[in-house]
Structure 1
Amino acid sequence: MSISPRMGLVVGKFWPFHKGHQLLLETAAAQVTDLVVMVYANPDSGTMPAATRARWIQELYRGDEMAEGARIGATPLRVFALSAEADGIPADDADDDAHRTFVQRWLAQRGISIDVVFSSESYGPGFAEHLGAAHVAVDAPRRQVPVSGTKLRSNAAEHAQFLHPLVAAELGTVSPATVPRVVFLGAESSGKSTLCAALAQVCQTVWVPEYGRTLHEQKHGNLDYEDLLYIARRHVELEDEAIGKARSVLFCDTNAATTALYSYYYFHRCDPILRALAAVCGQRYAHTFVCAPTVPFEQDGWRGPEALRSFQHGTILMQLDFYGIPYTLVEGSVEERVGQVTRQLRAAGAWD
């Protein structure tokens, strides 16, 4: 079906937001010029209310240009979190007509005219007709993404492969990987990137550079508080994208826990979602190595002073102990560090 509508609508609980919902929103955004997303449930979740679920959507579709807000491709998302108290939403078990009338009235009060409704549910066609809009069904049989919010609420860990890492972290779990992830932490100029590149060559696999460095350079060192969560989110996405190219093991330069440290260092606070991403690092990575700050310091114009390295190193070790994450300290030359890492990976059966 080929249509070119102007304003699209998606309504749902998104409890929790999963990859089926991502498919729904991305399919919708490809066919409209603006997309309204209404997030609500009644009764709502006490631990992940509509405001939290709406923020997941906004965070997952926020790009480097923060001022532009959430968007998918060129299509802006207008994400609304509704509540029974503020908006008078009907109960979940109310009849279809009550929900249709409520949405119609809510949109009219805001001067929003809908051209097409996108849904993966059986109520979709009747709902769209009530609004005087077209309807597009997206993966209604759940063949492309065989999961539901009900399954995830009952056991998020069992179905974590259907969750974005950001949402999985908020639920206290991680998305599984086909090969083990090995992460390298360390102070500035402690040799992480050099070691990752060398190991990738020796092990004939790939590695993921530190995304925070990439964005830091793109913004000429002018990072904002909101950038730190974005850095952690993009880094785990890049890791997941690289998994399919990895052989036996994936090497990762830095993790969300270190990004959280930088958030506190620069801004004296840390976003709760970033804290959640940091808290599951022990589950996400099969092995954690810390590069000792004993290699010659290289000031490339982006780093802090050399004197800061010792403090950063101690803080990273304290954080690992706090989270109960076992780690191995690597020292010496690049060749010596490669040997230390490969011997441990072989002993653990993570690389042959």
Structure 2
Amino acid sequence: MSIRKTGLVVGKFWPPHRGHQLLLEAAAAQVEELLVLVYAEPDSRDMPAGLRAQWLRELYRGVEVKDGPQVDQTPLRIFALSAEADGVPPDSADDFTHREFVRQWLQARQLRVDVVFSSEAYGEGFARHLGATHQAVDYERQQLPVSGTAVRANPAAYARYLHPLVAAQLGVVPPALVPRVVLLGAESSGKSTLCAALAEAYGSVWVPEYGRTLHEQKHAALDYEDLLYIARRHAELEDQAAAQAKQFLFCDTNAATTALYSYYYFHRCDPALQAMAAVCRQRYAHTFVCAPTVPFEQDGWRGPEALRSFQHGMVLMQLAHFGIPYTLLEGSVQQRVEQVRLVVDRK
């Protein structure tokens, strides 16, 4: 496949869905740089173009680590346009008006486009007006039969076509292939050990805490923006693991705990991360909290043992805040496995 220099995708992305992601990822794979223009007129009050563009940037942003390559190296340049700042024409305007608006917007910024990507009938004429070629992606919507209009009308019905980050902003959760069991708790409370034991007991798989992984990769130097990234990547890793899970998928930590650490370390939390935390009750079939009664193991990445009691209390407080029922686990690993079995095997 030959790589062309600059591509263009234009859309409302109201809200971004898997069909949009298919379009963007197919386009990004064929160009050195992909320009993405996000706008609508009239625009949404609840999720304006600036916010929709922010969600897209988060879906495709990477993170620099010292001991490995940047993750998600997708060459996207995402712009949010508005009627006030950019003179966006109304959605009801004719094709020529829309095409000429984009042409002039690009020209004013000395941006040249080589190929336009779209999943719509307007794509061919639009590309021709810009002096570019056109590449259609899933024009018949056979791969992903979804549209922004359908999602806006009934977000719950189309949740399966939404990335977990976007779905959470709409207060819905994509359906799970298997029930998800999440284990929470303070540092060194046995979550990882118990997740592994449960996965073995059920012949299934488990998802390690991605925040711990990135914490180590960045040598304990996490930035504020990393916390939302952690929640997003952890949700993606859960979705990937679900395809191999049997009976249950066991998860070490969730977005609610990630939000808790955002407040703990930075005294603030991104609204998108808050939304992901708020849907944890729907995302997980069962929630368990590991009591901090096992021997503390300092592995060089954890805080002092004295913090365990405080962290445990914060986890319980947050569960109460979100109204998430939970079961407290005590005793040895095997005893905790049996306690989990008593809950999840209940018909």
Does TM-score exceed 0.5, indicating one fold?
A: yes
User: RMSD of the alignment, in Å?
Assistant: 1.3
What secondary structure sits across from 1:302 in the alignment?
Answer: coil
1: CA distance between counterparts of 2:72 and 2:29?
A: 8
User: Does 2:142 correspond to 1:152?
Assistant: no
Counterparts in 2 of 1:165-204, with a 5 A limit? 165-204=164-203
CA distance in 2, matches of 1:79, 1:72: 18
Distance 1:301 1:146 in 2: 49
Paired residue for 1:257? 256
Instruction: Check 1:268–1:6 CA distance in 2 against 1; reply closer, same or farther (3 A cut).
Output: same
Matches within 5 A, 1:1-352: 3-65=2-64, 74-347=73-346, 349=347
Q: Offset at 1:75?
A: 4.4
Which whole-Å CA distance do the structure 1 matches of 2:43 and 2:216 have between them?
42
Structure 1 pair 39–318 and aligned structure 2 pair: CA distance change class (3 A):
same
SS in 1 for 2:31: coil
Q: CA offset at residue 4 of structure 1?
A: 3.3
8 Å contact from structure 2 (residues 62, 72) kept in 1: no
Q: Distance in 1 between matches of 2:209 and 2:73?
A: 27
Letter in 1 for 2:290: C
Q: Distance in 1 between matches of 2:137 and 2:107?
A: 25
- Looking at structure 2, the residues matched to 195 and 183 of structure 1 have their Cα atoms a distance apart, in angstroms, of 11
- Contact preservation (8 Å) 2:61, 2:72: no
1:76 Cα offset (Å): 1.5
CA deviation profile, 1:28-55 (whole Å, cap 9, x unmatched): 0111101000000000001111011101
- In structure 1, runs of 5+ residues without a counterpart are none
Contact map agreement 1:61 1:72 (CA 8 A) in 2: no
- Separation in 1 of the partners of 2:222 and 2:136? 41
- TM-score normalised over the length of structure 1: 0.96
* Corresponding letter in the other structure for 2:130: L
Secondary structure in 2 matching 1:78: strand
Q: Is the contact made by 2:62 and 2:71 (CA closer than 8 Å) also made in structure 1?
A: no
For 1:146 and 1:172, how far apart are their aligned partners in 2?
A: 21
SS in 2 for 1:125: helix
Q: Residue 26 of structure 1 contacts residue 72 of structure 1 at CA under 8 Å; is this kept in 2? A: no
CA contact under 8 A between 2:41 and 2:90: conserved in structure 1? yes
Matches of 2:24 and 2:64, distance apart in 1: 20
Q: Judging changes above 3 Å, is the alpha-carbon distance between structure 1 residues 98 and 72 closer, same or farther for their aligned structure 2 residues?
A: farther
SS of residue matched to 2:139: coil
Judge conservation of contact 1:29–1:72 (CA < 8 Å) in 2. no
Maintained 8 Å contact 2:60/2:72: no
TM-superposition CA deviations, 1:77-134 (whole Å, max 9, x none): 1100001110010000100000001000000000000000000000000000000100
- In structure 2, how many angstroms separate the alpha carbons of the residues matched to 1:243 and 1:55? 27
Q: Secondary structure at the match of 2:134?
A: strand
Q: CA deviation at 1:5?
A: 1.8
Please say if residues 32 and 75 of structure 1, whose CA atoms lie closer than 8 Å, have aligned partners that are also in contact.
Answer: no
Aligned-pair CA distance for 1:3 = 4.7
Conserved 8 A contact 1:8-1:32: yes
Q: In structure 2, how many angstroms separate the alpha carbons of the residues matched to 1:98 and 1:41?
A: 14
* SS of structure 2 residue aligned to 1:33: strand
Kindly state the Cα deviation for residue 64 of structure 1 after the two structures are TM-superposed: 2.1
SS of equivalent to 2:173: coil
Question: How many residues matched?
Answer: 344
Q: 1: distance between equivalents of 2:277 and 2:200?
A: 28
- Taking the aligned partners of 1:30 and 1:136, their CA distance within structure 2 comes to 12
CA distance in 1 between counterparts of 2:197 and 2:74 reads: 41
Mark the runs of 5 or more structure 2 residues left unpaired by the alignment: none
For 1:148 and 1:232, how far apart are their aligned partners in 2? Answer: 26
Cα deviation digits, residues 281-326 of structure 1 (max 9, x gap): 0000000000000001111110011110111111110110111100
Residue 65 of structure 1, CA deviation: 1.9
Describe the SS at the equivalent of 1:6.
strand
Contact 1:33–1:75, Cα closer than 8 Å, also in 2: no
Q: SS state of the match for residue 150, structure 1?
A: helix
Cα shift at 1:168: 0.1
- For residues 160 and 244 of structure 1, the distance between their equivalents in structure 2, rounded to whole angstroms, comes to 18
Sequence identity, in percent?
71
- Tell me the distance in 2 between the aligned counterparts of 1:273 and 1:140: 31
